[in-house]
Amino acid sequence: MDFLLFIVFFIIVAGGIYLLWYLKKKPAQKAGGSAITLVEVTTVVIIIGSIGLAAVSAFLSPPENKEEILLSVIAEERLDGLVTSLTMYRFDILSIPSEEDGLEGLLVNKVGDSTWRGPYVLQREDLTDPWGRPFQYRHVNGRYEILSLGADNEIGGNGENRDLLRKE
What whole-number distance in Å separates Cα of residue 23 and Cα of residue 33?
15
Domain that holds residue 11: 2-60
What whole-number distance in Å separates Cα of residue 130 and Cα of residue 77?
10
pLDDT by 10s per residue, the chain, length 168: 556 656 766 677 677 667 666 766 666 555 555 566 666 767 777 777 777 766 666 666 555 566 666 788 888 888 899 999 899 989 888 888 888 888 898 888 877 888 888 788 888 998 998 889 999 999 888 899 999 888 888 888 777 778 888 888
One domain for residues 90 and 14:
no
pTM metric for this prediction: 0.59
**89-98 b/e with 16+ CB inside 10 Å = b?**
bbeebeebbe
Within its chain, how far is the Cα of 85 from the centroid? 24
One domain for residues 126 and 53:
no
One domain for residues 89 and 148:
yes
> What CATH number does the domain containing 108 carry?
3.30.700.10
One domain for residues 30 and 80:
no
Q: Which of 60, 75, 91 is the last residue of a domain?
A: 60
